Structure 1
Amino acid sequence: MYKAFLIKYGEIGVKGKNRYLFEDALVRQIRFALEKVEGEFVVSKENGRIYATAQTEFDYDEVVEALKTVFGIIGICPVVQIEDNGFDDLAEHVIKYIDEAYPDKNVTFKVDARRARKNYPMNSMEINMEMGGRILDAFPEMKVDVHKPQVLLQIEIRKHINIYSIEIPGPGGMPIGTAGKAMLLLSGGIDSPVAGYMVAKRGVQIEATYFHAPPYTSERAKQKVVDLARLVSKYAGPITLNVVNFTDIQLAIYEKCPHDELTIIMRRYMMKIAEELGKESKCMGLVTGESIGQVASQTMQSLYCTNEVCTMPVYRPVIGFDKQEIIDISEKIGTYETSIQPFEDCCTIFVAKHPVTKPNLNIIKQHEHNLDDVIDELMKTAIETTEKIVVK
C-alpha cells in the first residue's frame, strides 16, 4: 500500500535563512541510512517536506527502523500519494486506504485536511466534512470523535495529495554534521557510548579515541570498543576510531608517580593525547562519559584537575545522570550488552586500592614533573603509532 514516507523534522523548521543547509544535511543522512536497506529510494525536498519515495519493492519494517536512527527526524509517516483527479477520486482512495489499514472498522476517527495549494476548489473545513460523510457512508460502524480519535486521517493537498494516519516517532535532534566535530574518549564501558550518542544527536560529527594497553588489555577488549563504535555509528554515521597504545605511558606513571594519583594523572595524559589527535582532525571539543561522583576520577575536584590540561572545551553529556538513566539509554541504543562484556580496559588496570578523590592540582603537577625525562617522547610515540579504524 505504501510507496513513500513523509519525513517530518522539528528544530530545523525554526531556522532562518540557513534552514536549507540543515534540510540538505538531513536529506544526505536519510539517503545514507536508506542505502543500508533493500530497495531503491528517491529522497527529495518539497515545500518544507522531505519525502523518501520507493522505486522498487522494500521491507516496510526495515525502512522504518533505518529512518528511526536518523537524527533530525521527529516523525515518520508512511503515506499514500496520489495525483489530484478531483474529490471523488480522492474519496475512493481514502476509502480504500481505511479498508486496508484498519480491517476492524470499530474505531473512532477524525479527518484533518490541509491545503498547501490554495487553489483547490474546496477549503479545509469542507474537505473534512465531506470526507467524513463519505467514510461514514462506506463504514457505518466507524464513529466520529474530533477530540481524541483513534484514527487521525490526514489529507495534505500539495503538488500531489498525501493520505496518511500513522506517525512513527523519530529520534529528534539535529542532522549529523551541522554542529561541528568532536573527539569522543571511548572506553569499553557503559557511559562513553551514550555520551557519543547524545552529542551526535545535537548534530555533532564524532571521531573517537580508545586507549589500549597491551599486553595488559587483550585484543578482545579492543574488539569490544570497535564493536561499540560500530553500534554508535548506526546513529552517528561513519566514525574514525583512533587506537592509542598507552602501555608505556601507564608504566612510566606507575613507576614514577604516587599510586593513589595514578588514575588522575593517567586521565590527564589521555586528555592531552585525545586533544592532539582532535586538533589533527579539526575537532572543536572533547567528549567524555563522565558523571559527577560516579567513581574517584569523577569528583568535582578530579574533573577540575583533568580539565586543566585541555585547551579545547570538554563536553560531558551525561554528567548529571544517575547510572540507571545512562543504562536505560544504552539499552535503547543497543550498546549495553556489548558494554558489559567482561574485558578490562586500560582504566581498570594499575588502579590503586584507595585512589585520591580530592586531588590538589598543584600537587598533581608537582608529581608529574617526575615524568619530565620521558613523557614527551612517550606521548610523541603514542600519537605517531596510533592505529586508525573506520567503522560504519
Structure 2
Amino acid sequence: MSCVILVRYGEIGLKGKNRIYFERMLMDNIRRSLGDLKGIKVSREHGRLYVEHEEDAERVIERLKKVFGIVSVSPARVVPLDMEAIKEGALDEVKEFLKDRGTFKVETKRANKKFPYKSIEINSIVGAHILKNTEDLKVDVNAPLFTVNIEIRENNAYIYSTSYPAPGGLPVGTTGKGGLLISGGIDSPVAGWLAMKRGVEITGIHFYSFPFTSERSKEKVVELCRVLAGYGGPIRLFVVPFTRIQSEIKKNCPEKFYVTIMRRMMFRIAEKICLKEGCTVLFTGENLGQVASQTLESIAVIENVVNIPVLRPLITMDKSEIIEKAKEIGTYDISIQPYEDCCTIFVPKHPATKPKLEEVEKAEEKILGFENLVEEAVEKAESMSITPK
C-alpha cells in the first residue's frame, strides 16, 4: 500500500473539448508549486489528478491548497482493486485517525464499473470488517464522526477520510495576462488574487514617489507580490518612478483635480506597460464610492485615457468583505504596515467627486509635455521577478 494526494477540480470538469488544456495547465501549475520538493509526480485519470511525493504530506498539502483550479485535496491510501486489500486499507485508515471510539460510515464512489462489487455492497462489506476488528465503534450513516471514503478507479482503489479545501477557480495562465495596479494598500492585492482565481497571469505595476515615499513602501509591495506569487507562480513587477509627474501635477493643476489627473497619468503608463508585456486588460482595486476617485463620474473620466479594458473585481464589495478576504489570503498584515504609497501624498482637502471631462483635460494641458513624462516613466520603470517565499 502506498500514499498519494488526491486532487479534485471543479469548474474545469464542466469544460468541453478544451478540458484537456485546462487539466494540463493545472498539472503544470502543480508541478511548479511543488518543484523544489522530492519525488513529485503528477498524473491524471478520468476527472482526478494524483500527486505522488517523498515529502511530509502536510507540506505538500499546504502548497496545493493555494493552487487555483483545485477545489480540495485528500491524502489517500492506494490499494489494488482487490476486496481484501480494500478492507485492510479502510481498517488501517480507521485505526490511524479514529482510534477506538465514535461513529463512522463507509462511502464508496465506483467510477470503475467493471469492479465486481457495487458501491452499496462495498460499503456493507468494508463496514462489517471494521466493526469486527475494532472496539466501541458504531455505524451512523446520517451523522457520523468519521467517514471512510473509497474511490474505485481504473487501476487502483483510493481510501481517505480527510479533505482540505482549496481556492477553486481556473488555473493561472488559462485566460490570459493582465496588468494589476498595486499600491500597497488592502484592496489591490485582493483584486489581484481574484483576477488570478479566474485564470489570469498578472503583471504588477506600482508607482513609486521617492523621496516622498520611502524605500520601505516599495519593499512592502514586493512582499505583497510574494504572497500572491505563492498562489500563482512568479510575478513580474514594474516599479514606476512617479515623483516628477506628481510634482508637475501639484505645480500646474487645480488642487481639486490632483487625484483625478494623477490616476489618469497612472492609467496611461499602465496601458503602455500592459501592451509591452502582452497584457490585454488592466485590473485595479477600485471600489465604488470608497474614495473621491472611485465615484462613477471619476471612474469614467479617469478611464477615458486608455483603450484596453479596465476590470475592477472589488467594485461592489463592502470594505469589511475586502478586509476579510485580505486576511484569508495573507496580505492584510502586510498591507496595514505604516508605509505610505504615492496615492496618499498631495491629497487635496476637497477633491473633485464629480469631475467634468472637459475641465480635467483643460487642467492637464497646463502640464507642458506630459506625454514625454509618461514615456520617460515607462522607460525608467524598474522590472523584477517576484517568486514565492
- Structure 1 unmatched ranges of 5 or more: none
Give the secondary-structure state (helix, strand or coil) at the position aligned to 1:173: coil
Query: Aligned pair 1:65/2:65, yes or no?
Result: no
| Same amino acid, percent of matched pairs | 45
CA contact (8 A) 1:2 1:78 kept: no
Kindly provide the amino acid, as one letter, of the partner of residue 130 in structure 1.
I
1:170-213 superposed Cα distances (whole Å, 9 cap, x missing partner): 11111100111110001011100010001111111100100011
- Structure 2 unmatched ranges of 5 or more: none
- Separation in structure 1 between the aligned mates of residue 121 and residue 31 of structure 2, nearest angstrom: 38
Query: Aligned pair 1:229/2:228, yes or no?
Result: no
1:186 to 161, 182, 187: 182
1:333 to 325, 329, 333: 329
Give the secondary-structure state (helix, strand or coil) at the position aligned to 1:176: coil
- Separation in structure 1 between the aligned mates of residue 379 and residue 88 of structure 2, nearest angstrom: 68
How many residue pairs get aligned? The number is: 386
The 5 Å alignment of 1:274-285 reads 274-285=270-281
The residue aligned with 1:46 is 45
Kindly provide the amino acid, as one letter, of the partner of residue 310 in structure 1.
V
The residue aligned with 2:370 is 375
Q: CA deviation at 1:102?
A: 1.5
- Separation in structure 2 between the aligned mates of residue 285 and residue 113 of structure 1, nearest angstrom: 45
Cα-Cα RMSD = 1.4
CA contact (8 A) 2:108 2:151 kept: yes
1:247-304 superposed Cα distances (whole Å, 9 cap, x missing partner): 1111111111101100000000100100110001111110000111111111111111
The residue aligned with 1:5 is 5
Give the secondary-structure state (helix, strand or coil) at the position aligned to 1:118: coil
Kindly provide the amino acid, as one letter, of the partner of residue 26 in structure 1.
L
Query: Aligned pair 1:132/2:127, yes or no?
Result: yes
CA contact (8 A) 2:286 2:315 kept: yes
Kindly provide the amino acid, as one letter, of the partner of residue 136 in structure 1.
L
Kindly provide the amino acid, as one letter, of the partner of residue 75 in structure 2.
P
Query: Aligned pair 1:240/2:239, yes or no?
Result: no
- Separation in structure 2 between the aligned mates of residue 172 and residue 114 of structure 1, nearest angstrom: 22
Kindly provide the amino acid, as one letter, of the partner of residue 152 in structure 1.
T
The residue aligned with 1:257 is 253
Change in 2 beyond 3 A, CA 1:322/1:2: farther
CA contact (8 A) 1:296 1:356 kept: yes
Q: CA deviation at 1:140?
A: 4.3
Give the secondary-structure state (helix, strand or coil) at the position aligned to 1:95: helix
Normalised by the length of structure 1, the TM-score is 0.95
CA contact (8 A) 1:265 1:368 kept: yes
The 5 Å alignment of 1:1-392 reads 3-36=3-36, 38-54=37-53, 56=54, 58-84=55-81, 86-103=82-99, 105-158=100-153, 159-371=155-367, 373-392=368-387
Task: After superposing the two structures, state which structure 1 stretch, 302-311 or 132-141, moved more.
Answer: 132-141
Q: CA deviation at 1:320?
A: 1.0
Kindly provide the amino acid, as one letter, of the partner of residue 103 in structure 2.
T
Change in 2 beyond 3 A, CA 1:288/1:2: farther
Q: CA deviation at 1:135?
A: 1.4
- Separation in structure 2 between the aligned mates of residue 350 and residue 88 of structure 1, nearest angstrom: 74
Q: CA deviation at 1:51?
A: 0.2
- Separation in structure 2 between the aligned mates of residue 318 and residue 359 of structure 1, nearest angstrom: 22
CA contact (8 A) 1:261 1:356 kept: yes
- Separation in structure 2 between the aligned mates of residue 230 and residue 89 of structure 1, nearest angstrom: 44
Give the secondary-structure state (helix, strand or coil) at the position aligned to 2:113: coil
Q: CA deviation at 1:70?
A: 0.2
Give the secondary-structure state (helix, strand or coil) at the position aligned to 1:370: coil
- Separation in structure 1 between the aligned mates of residue 133 and residue 3 of structure 2, nearest angstrom: 25
